[in-house]
Amino acid sequence: MYPEYMVAPIREDLTSAGFEQLMTSEEVEKVLSESEGTVLVAVNSVCGCAAAKARPALKMAVSAADKRPTKLVTVFAGMETEAVAKAREHMLPYPPSSPSIALFKNGELVHMIERYHIEGNDLVRIVDNLKGAFEEYC
């Protein structure tokens, strides 16, 4: 686990953009078991690709998309272990990855962006990927 003073500004990067920080496995289960609408889940991280690509792409896609998910949530890898584990249960069969981004529709995983999609791509491609998923599923 990281010191809270270190992750607080990283959390705020997404919460200030409208993402709800989920802190417990119960909160994750409640949000992801909702039967209607779309939920975008960001697995946040302290790593460089989260700072340089994942969080900026999330914020840009959400603010620029014509269609957007009903709910925006985030869990923080390396901090709330149970909440992250519960989110990752819903992301199976994809292996644990942070950062990562998952889109759920009516409780089912419909789109997944793993770490290798983030660190191996430029920012514009990640934004376009997200906007395309929003257009298709939201």
Active site residues: 47, 49
Rounded CA gap, 121 and 101, in Å? Answer: 14
Angle at 26 between CA 101 and CA 49, to 5 degrees: 25
Rounded CA gap, 110 and 2, in Å? Answer: 31
Which is nearest to 43 in space by CA: 110, 100, 81?
Answer: 100
What angle in degrees, to the nearest 10, is found between the helix axes of 55-64 and 123-137?
Answer: 50
CB 41 within 8 A of CB 102: yes
The side-by-side arrangement of strands in the sheet containing 38-44 is: 20-21, 71-76, 38-44, 100-105, 108-113
